[in-house]
Amino acid sequence: MGIETSCDETAVAIVDSDYKVRSQIVTRQIVHEKWGGVVPESASRAHLELIDESTSIAVQQSKLNPSDIDAIAVTIGPGLAGALWIGTSFAQGIALALKKPWLPVHHLEAHLWSVKLVQPHLTSPFLALLVSGGHTLLIHVNGYREYSVIGKTRDDSIGEAFDKAARMLKLGYPGGPAIENASKGLSSKQHFKLPITDIPNSYDFSFSGLKTALKNAIENHSEISSTEWAIAFQYAAVTSLLKPLQRYWKIHPQLPLVLTGGVASNELLRKYIFEFAIENKLKTYATPKEYCTDNAVMIAVAGIEMLKHKSDAKTIQVSIKPKWNLEELV
């Protein structure tokens, strides 16, 4: 069983050890929409209200007996402290009642290995582009828990940039899907260009210049519609993400690329990456769209990986870790 409560999704899933999804419940908490961002206290309260029933439904839908569950994996970080406590205490309670182990999961490691849902036999080394609301990481994966971060954002994450841009354009929250929907099928109309960032001699990313450029452009060009700005923003954000990746990948063409995280559900990003891979004879595996944004299937998958690599033995006495670097995992 996987349980995810690190931010504003309350999610529970049951996955077999061969990555077959038995059941999954994801509730995106709507209380945050009117604020255009997640309110931590409201998130904790909503998790508390939703977690019990979500778990009962996930068990019912799996058609398993609770005693058939081998282990309970739960996100212990990074994320919102109050929200993490709800999922972690709940998982520990279930584990105690079922006399089964509980597995402390790193949220980003779960995004990373969610690719096993499409590529169960993926072997290291590989590259990963992990793009979410909190992180923008280019990772060189040498093996399980051998992660080298090659590039990261110097300011906003790409997901955050999408969310802030959507707020400026009054398109709603979360911003990524709102901008993508506003841009759908209209790419040929784009006359306005926003700046693309590619930092020399580095594989880092930056999105704050793009955000400021959009803010100024909106103020100076009131005649241009939010749809046209959405198209221009999506193009510039996706292209800024691709530049460092393409430079690093060209030096390591033998490595397949794993594309994952909430922003990886973006169609334009997927299209550009697959096109580049085909042109350059490179391999790419992307997490299925439905498992890119936060969910508990990926938490269960991370738990399966922990059991396979016996890394649960090292992490028995742990608490929540609201701030937790991927490279600290051993």
Q: Per the structure block, which two tokens stand in for 75?
A: 């996100």
Measured torsion, CA atoms of residues 229, 230, 233, 239, in degrees rounded to the nearest 10? -130
Find where tokens 């926003």 sit. Answer: 194
Q: Segment contacting Zn ion (CB under 5 A): 125-133, 234-242, 252-260, 283-291? A: 125-133
CA-wise closest residue to 258 among 104, 109, 133 = 109
Selected binder of ligand KG4 within 266, 284, 285, 320 (CB under 6 A): 266
SS3 219: helix
Select 109 or 305, whichever has its Cβ closest to ligand KG4. 109
Instruction: Tell me the β-bridge partners of 106.
Output: 77
CB 138, min distance to ligand KG4, A? 16
**Within 274-313, which residues bind Zn ion (CB under 5 A)?**
294
Which positions from 41 to 60 touch Zn ion by CB under 5 A, shown as an x/- string? --------------------
**How would you label 42-58 residue by residue, b for 16+ Cβ within 10 Å and e otherwise?**
bbbbbbbebbeebbeeb
Residue 65 dihedral angles phi and psi, to the nearest 5°: -85, 145
CA-wise closest residue to 218 among 233, 234, 240 = 233
Selected binder of ligand KG4 within 261, 273, 291, 320 (CB under 6 A): 261
Select 21 or 98, whichever has its Cβ closest to ligand KG4. 21
Q: Segment contacting ligand KG4 (CB under 6 A): 21-29, 43-51, 172-180, 192-200? A: 172-180
Select 59 or 77, whichever has its Cβ closest to ligand KG4. 77
**Within 45-104, which residues bind ligand KG4 (CB under 6 A)?**
none
Number of residues in contact with ligand KG4, rule: CB under 6 A? Answer: 19
CA angle, 293 as apex, 18 and 215 as ends, to 5°? 160
CB 240, min distance to ligand KG4, A? 13
Residue 234 makes contact with Zn ion by CB under 5 A: no
CB 96, min distance to ligand KG4, A? 28
Residue 176 makes contact with ligand KG4 by CB under 6 A: yes
Selected binder of ligand KG4 within 4, 156, 180, 228 (CB under 6 A): 180
State the first-to-last Cα distance of the chain, in angstroms, to the nearest integer.
23
Number of helices (H) and strands (E) in the chain: give both, helices first: 9, 10
Q: Are strands 126-131 and 2-4 parallel, antiparallel or unpaired?
A: unpaired
Selected binder of ligand KG4 within 82, 175, 256, 303 (CB under 6 A): 175
Q: Helix H segments across 18-125?
A: 40-62, 81-98, 107-113
Selected binder of ligand KG4 within 113, 126, 147, 162 (CB under 6 A): 162
Interface residues with ligand KG4 (CB under 6 A)?
A: 7, 132-134, 159, 162-163, 174-177, 180, 261-263, 265-266, 293-294
